Structure 1
Amino acid sequence: MTRTTPKTSPTPTTSPAPAAAATPAAPAPWSDLVSAALLGTGRRTPPVAARPGQGPGAALLDAAAVSTVRRRAALRPAPAGERPAPAPADPRPPLPSAARRRLSLLLADRGAGGGGSRRGTAPDLTELLPQWLTAAVDHGYRAPEVLLPALLDAARARTDLRPAALALAGPRALWLARLNDEWKFALRGTGSRAGLPGDGDPVAVRRTWEEGLFAERVALLTALRRHDPSAGLALLTTTWSTERAEDRLMFLDSLRADLSAADEPFLEQALSDRSRNVRATAAELLSTLPGSALAARMAQRAHTCIGLDRTAGAPVIAVEAPHECDPGMQRDGVAPKPPSGRGERSWWLSQLVEATPLDGWHARFAGRDAAAIIALPVGDDWRTELHDAWCRAAVRQRNADWARALLGAPAAPSQAAEVAPAGSSRDLTKLLTVLPEDERARWVAEFIAAHGLSEAFRMLGVCAVPWAEPLGGAVVDALDIARDAGSYPWSFSGVMGLAERCLDPAAADRLDMLTAVTDEPEGASPGSGGYWSEAFQRLVGTLRLRATMRTELTPPPTGDDTGPAPDRKTEAAPTTPHGAAPGPRVP
C-alpha cells in the first residue's frame, strides 16, 4: 500500500524587520542561530540585525562567525563598550621625509644586538636613537602616528629614552597609554600640560587626584608643580595625612625640581612625620634652601664643632665632633645609627656639615674664600672626613665656588690620587656637574692631558654633548697615544663608544688619518693594530652618520617635504655601540 502524505499549507514567511528594530540588547543565543540556519531564513527570520543592504542570510552568517569566536575564546556575550574619545590633535609640524625614514630604521634596529667581541666598522644605530630623539624634539617636530606604538615600545624597554620619546610622541602618547597597560609608564612624570586632565580644569584635577592611579597622581603633581608650584603644593596638602608612607615619600620627591622658600612650612611639618624616610627626605630638601630655619639650626651645630684653632702658631682647622645625637638633631634629619664600619661621632659630624649652608663658612674662617678654607690644614686627621662632607654639600647646594675649590687644579700631580683618596667617599664626577658646561669640559680635558683616560671615563659621561674643544681633541689624542703605546685596545672600548656619540661630527674628516692599520709596537697585544683601525673607522663612520642625521632633521623649504636624500651606505649598516652615556643634545 502506498502511503500518501497529506498536503499542508506552507508556513507564512515573515519579512525581515528593519535593522534598527531588529537590534537585540545582547547577541542572540547560539541555539536560536542554529534553528534559523536549519529551517532557513525563508521560514524563520534570523534573530539578528542586518546592516543596510545586507540580506538575512549574510546577517545570520556574520552573527554565527562572531558567536563562534566568542565561544572559542570563552567570552560571555555582553553589550559593546563605550568608544574612547578621539585622540587629541598635535599641532606641531611633521618630520621631514628623510628623518621619518631614519626614525623607522632606528626603531626597527633597536632589538639588534652586537654579537661577538669585535663590532667591526659599522655605526651603532641603537645608541644613536637617544640623541636623534632629543634633536627631533629640539626642532619642534611630532612623531608620525604610524610609529607611535613602536616608539612607546622602545621607551618601555629603555628608560633613558622616555623623556625625549614622550616629548616627541606628544599628547597622543598619553591617549594611547590609557588604552594599553604596557604603556602606563607614559602617564608618570611627564611634567607637561598634557598630563593635566581637562586642560587644567579644577574639578577634573581634583577628581584625578582623589580617584586616579598612583602613577597618574604623580604625573599630575609633577605637571602642576612645573606650571604652578603653589597649586601643586595645595593639592598635596589636601590628602597628605591619609597617604601611605611610601606614597608620601614619592610625592615629596616631586617637590624637588621646583623647590622654593614657599615650601618651607610644609617641609617643616614633614620633619615630624611618622616615617623615618619621609623625615630624612624633608630634612634634605630643607637643607638645599640656604635661608631655611633648618639650615640655620644645622649651621649653628656645625660651627660649634668646627673652627680655627686660635692656640696654634699657624691657622689650623680644629674639629670637635658631637658627643651625642640629641632629639633635635634627629628631628632635623640626622640619623643616629652609623653604617657598618663608621664611627658614631664622625657620622653625626658629616651629616651636620653636609646640611650646613656653605656660604656661612666664610665668616666662620675670618672672611676666607672657599679655596683658602680648603687649603687650611685640618687637625687630628679630620681632613678627609671634613672635605668629603663639604663635597656633598657643594653638590646638594649646587655651589660652583666650593665645587671649583674642592676639585682643585686638574693637572696637579696629586690630583689623580684625590679622585679616591684612602677612606674617602667623595665623588669628583658629581662635583663636576656643579660647574658650568664649558668650564667642566676644560677641566676634564686638562685632567686627561695630565693623567690619561683611566680615571676619566665617568667624568666624560657628565660633559655636555657634543664635546667642545679642547675636550674632543684631548680624548682623541689620548686614544692615539694608547694605540701607539701598544695598550690593550679593548680596555678603551667604553671611551671609544662615548667618543662615537659625543665627539663633534665636524671632526670626522681630520680623524681619517687614524683609520689606517699601523705597525704593532713590540710587546703589543697580537692583532691590536687591526682592532684599533676598525675602532677608528667605526668612529669616523658614526660621526658622518650623525652629521647626515642632523641634516635630515633640518626643516625643508616651505611647501617641500622631500627632505635630503638619506645616505644609503650608512642607512643599511648594522649597529650597536655600548657604554653608558647621558642623552646627547645634538646628533
Structure 2
Amino acid sequence: MIRTSAPVEAPAAGAWEESVTAALLGTDRRTPPGGTPGREAPVALLDTAAVQTLRRRAGLRPGRAAERPQPAAPDPRPALPEAAARRLSVLLADRPGPAGGGRRGTAPDLMELLPQWLAAANAHGYAAPPEALPALLDAARGRTDLRPAALAFAGPRALWLARLNPEWRFALRAAPGGGSALPGPDDAERIRRLWEEGLFAERVALLAALRERRPAAGRELLAATWATERAEDRLMFLDSLRTGLGPDDEPFLEQALADRSRNVRATAAELLSALPGSALAARMADRAAACVAVDHMRGTPTIAVEAPHECDANMERDGVVPKAPAGRGERSWWLGQLLEAAPLGTWSARLGGRTPQDIVALPVADDWQGELHAAWCRAAVRQRDAQWARALLGAPAAPGAGGPGAVSLAERARLLGTLDAAERADWVAGFIAAHGLSEAFQLLGVCAVPWAAPLGRAVVDALNIARDAGSYPWSFSGVMGLAERCLDPAEANRLDGLLAVPDEAEDASPGAGGYWAEAFQRLVTTLRLRHAMAEELADRAG
C-alpha cells in the first residue's frame, strides 16, 4: 500500500536513476528526487519508487501477439483403454528414490517397468493420451534409453510440443528429418534438395531411410557428393551403409579405403570384412592363413602361429592400424586385426578340413591361444557366424565357465548375440545351472524378454539355492532386478513358497532372511503387476 504522508511531485527525467542512487547511498547522504531531507525522506523515497514503478508498468506498450501455432497433426491410432491410460499416469508419476544400497521393501519399481509398458503399447499400436505427453517427454528427457519407445508412442503430437518447449528439443533431434516428413523413395527432386540443402541430421536420416528401402539409391546419393563432404561427416555417412550392406557396396567401399581420414578407412575396411566374398576379405584371408598352420611334427596336432613381422602399406590401406595400444606387442596387435577381418570359412581348408569345434579344440603352441581365440571371437561376432560362436562358447557346463575361446564375460555375451533367442536362453540356463549366478548377470542381459521357461526356472532355482546357502543377499540384487523385469509373469504362482522368512544359519549375513523374503515378495508383486499391465493393454473394449 502507498503511503501519502507527503505529496509526490511528478518525476523529472532521470528520476528513476536518482531514486536508485538515493536508495543505494541512503537518504541521509542523498535527498530523494522530489523530496526533502529529514525523517520523512525514506518514506518519500518509497512513495516515489511506488509511483514511478506504476507509471513504468502502465506506460509499456503491449507487444505484438505471436502467430498462433498450427494445430498438431492428427494421430490416427486407436486410443488407449481407460485402465491402461490410468496405469500410464501412475508409471509416469513414479520417481526413483535416493541412491543407496540394495533396494528394500516389497513395492515394485515402476520406473523400471515403464520401458516394458511402452514396448507393449507400441506393439498394440495405441496413441498416447494428449494429457500424458508432457510427463512422457519429461521422462524421456531424463532417460535416453526411453526415448525411442517413448517418441514412437507419443507420435506427431510430441514433435509439435517439442517445437514449443526448448527442454523437449531432443525429440526433434531423435526424429528422422528433425520431425519433418522424409520424402518418399520415388520423390527424386525432394530427395536431391534435402540431401544438398538439409541439415546434417536430416541428411543422415534421409540416407538411413533410403538404405532401408533402396540400398543402391542411398549409396548412389552418397557417392555423388562424397568428395566434397567433411571427414567427420563422411565417417557418419559411411556408417549408415551397415544397413542393407551387400556385395554391390564393395566398389564404393574399396574407393573409401584410400580416403584421407584414417577413421573412414578403418570403417570401410570393417564393412568390407563383413562381406566374406569381398576382395579385401580375400586379401586378409591370405595374410592370416600365412600366419596360422597345423604343426604335425608334435605328438598331437598343434596350431603354430607366426605373427607378422611388419605392417606394410597395403595392410595399412586395408584397415590394419600399425601403432599398437600401450602395453600391447606390435606383432600380436597386427595378427589380431588380420584374424578378425579374415572370413572364418578360411580355416577349415587351411587347417586340414576340420570343423570349427575341432579347430577350437586344438592346442596352440607358444602361448598364442588367448590371442588366437579372442580374434576368432571378434570375427564370429562381426560375421554373425553362429557355428563358430557355438564352438568358441563351448558347452555351458564346461570347466572354466564358457569354453576355450570365451576370454571374458563381455566376449561370451557378444557371441551369444549371434544365436537365435531360444538357443541363447538354453545356453545361459545351462551356464547358470552349472556355475550359479555370480557371473551370469551380463549374459542374462542379452536374452530375449520375457525369459523362456527353462531360463526363468534356472534363475529362480539359483536364487533359491543362494538363499538357502545363507549367501550375502545384496550381491544378488542386480539379478533380482533383472528377474522382476524379465521373468515370465506366469511364473508368479510358482514363487509363493519363497515368500516366508527363512531360518537363518549361524554363518548367514545378519538380516539376510528378511531381505530375501522382501526381495521375493517384490518379485512376485512385480510379476503380477506386469500381468495386469498386459491385460489392460489387451483390453481394446477398455
TM-score band, normalised by shorter chain:
0.7 to 0.9
Equivalent in 94, 105, 112 of residue 127 of structure 1: 112
Kept after mapping to 2: 8 A contact 1:467/1:504: yes
Which range is displaced more, 98-107 or 457-466? Answer: 98-107
Q: Which deviations, in whole Å up to 9, do the C-alpha atoms of 1:84-117 show, x marking residues without a partner?
A: 5543333221111111111122112145556675
* Alignment match, 2:434: 450
Once residues 384 and 116 of structure 2 are traced to their aligned partners in structure 1, the CA distance between those partners, rounded to angstroms, is: 26
In 2, distance between residues paired with 1:541 and 1:555? Answer: 21
Q: Relative to structure 2, which stretch is displaced further, 443-452 or 185-194?
A: 185-194
Match of 2:374 in 1: 388
Which SS does the other structure have where 1:247 is aligned?
A: helix
Alignment partner of 1:506 is 2:490? yes
**SS at the partner of 2:212?**
helix
Contact 1:193 1:199 in 2 (8 A): no
State the SS of the aligned residue for 1:553: helix
Give unmatched runs, 5+ long, in structure 1.
1-64, 558-562, 564-587
Q: Distance in 1 between matches of 2:339 and 2:468?
A: 47
Q: Structure 1 residues 111 and 537, CA, compared in 2 at 3 Å: closer, same or farther?
A: closer
Residue deviations 1:494-541 (CA, integer Å, cap 9, x gap): 000000000000111110110111110111111111111100000000
In structure 2, the partner of 1:48 is none
- Alpha-carbon contact 1:267-1:286 (below 8 Å) kept: yes
Give distance in 2, aligned partners of 1:471 and 1:531: 24
Structural mapping, 1:47-62, within 5 Å = none
User: How many Å separate the matches in 1 of 2:457 and 2:511?
Assistant: 26
| Conservation of the 8 A alpha-carbon contact between 1:187 and 1:219 | no
Counterpart in the other structure of 1:209: 195
In the other structure, the counterpart of 1:489 is 473
| Cα separation, partners in 2 of 1:157 and 1:204, compared to 1, 3 Å | farther
Cα distance change of structure 1 residues 210 and 154 upon mapping to structure 2, 3 Å threshold: farther
Q: Give secondary structure in 1 for the equivalent of 2:399.
A: coil
Question: Given that residues 471 and 508 in structure 2 are in contact (C-alpha distance below 8 angstroms), is that contact kept between their aligned partners in structure 1?
Answer: yes
Q: CA deviation at 1:276?
A: 1.0
1:473 aligns with 2:457: yes
1:373 pairs, out of 359, 363, 372, with 359
**2:323 aligns to what?**
337
Structure 1 residue 179: Cα displacement: 4.3
**Once the two structures are superposed, what CA deviation does each residue of 1:363-395 show, in whole Å capped at 9, x if it has no partner?**
112221110111111122111110000000001
Of residues 227, 244, 251, the one that matches 1:265 is 251
Q: Is the 8 A contact 1:95 1:142 kept in 2?
A: yes
Q: Provide TM-score, normalisation by structure 2.
A: 0.84
In the TM superposition, residue 230 of structure 1 has moved relative to its aligned partner by 2.1
CA shift digits 1:340-359 (9 cap, x unpaired) = 11111110000000001111
Q: What amino acid sits opposite 2:396 in the alignment?
A: P
Q: Is the 8 A contact 2:301 2:362 kept in 1?
A: yes
Tell me the amino acid that sits aligned with residue 538 of structure 1. Answer: R
1:277-426, aligned counterparts within 5 Å?
Answer: 277-415=263-401
- Identify the structure with the greater helix proportion: 2
Q: Deviations over 1:173-196 (max 9, x none)?
A: 344444444334334465699764
- For the 8 Å contact 1:514–1:533, the answer to whether it is kept is yes
CA distance in 2, matches of 1:293, 1:330: 15
Give the direction of change, closer, same or farther, for the CA distance of 1:140–1:556 in structure 2 (3 Å limit): same
Q: Quick one: structure 1 residues 149 and 254, their matched pair in 2 at CA, closer, same or farther if it must change by over 3 Å?
A: farther
Does the 8 A contact of 1:196 with 1:205 survive in 2?
A: no
CA distance in 2, matches of 1:359, 1:193: 43
Mapped to 1, the partners of 2:363 and 2:405 lie a distance apart of 19
Output the amino acid matched with 1:484: D
Is the 8 Å Cα contact of residues 486 and 523 (structure 1) preserved in structure 2?
yes
Cα distance in 1 for partners of 2:409, 2:102 equals 34
Q: Identify if the C-alpha distance between structure 1 residues 186 and 204 changes in structure 2 by more than 3 Å, giving closer, same or farther.
A: farther
The secondary structure found in structure 2 opposite 1:197 is coil
Structure 2: gaps (5+ residues): 1-53
Q: Secondary structure at the match of 1:122?
A: coil
**SS at structure 2 position matched to 1:264:** helix
The question of 1:432 aligning with 2:431 is answered no
Structure 1 residue 254 displacement after superposition: 1.8
Distance 2:331 2:409 in 1: 17
Q: Output the CA distance in 2 between the equivalents of 1:102 and 1:378.
A: 58
Does the 8 Å CA contact 1:196/1:223 hold for their aligned counterparts?
no
Aligned to 1:104: 89
Counterparts of 2:59 and 2:420, CA distance in 1? 63
* 1:133–1:219 Cα change, 3 Å: same
Match of 2:153 among 168, 173, 196: 168
Question: Is the contact between residue 394 and residue 402 of structure 2 (CA under 8 Å) also seen in structure 1?
Answer: no
Identify which range, 112-121 or 144-153, moves more after superposition.
112-121
Amino acid at match of 1:467: W
Distance 1:425 1:489 in 2: 22
Structure 2 counterpart of 1:305, one-letter code: C
- CA distance in 1 between counterparts of 2:209 and 2:165 reads 22
The letter of the residue matching 1:478 is A
Q: 1:490 to 1:266 in 2, by over 3 A?
A: same
Partner of 1:144: 129
The AA in structure 1 aligned to 2:261 is S
Q: Distance in 2 between matches of 1:319 and 1:178?
A: 60
Q: Are 2:320 and 2:334, in contact at CA under 8 Å, matched by a contact in 1? A: yes
Residues 196 and 220 in structure 1, CA contact (< 8 A), matched pair in contact too: no
AA at the equivalent of 2:83: A
TM-score (norm 1): 0.78
In 1, the alpha carbon distance for the partners of 2:377 and 2:419 equals: 13
Q: Which has the higher contact order (CA 8 A, sep 6+)?
A: 1
Q: Which range moves more in the overlay, 305-314 or 435-444?
A: 305-314
The 3-state SS of whatever aligns with 1:308 is strand
CA change 1:413–1:505 in 2 (3 A) is same
Contact 1:317-1:378 at 8 Å conserved across structures = yes
Q: Confirm or deny: 8 A CA contact 1:123 1:541 kept in the other structure.
A: yes
Give the % identical residues: 70
C-alpha distance in 1, partners of 2:120/2:527?
15
RMSD, aligned α-carbons: 2.6
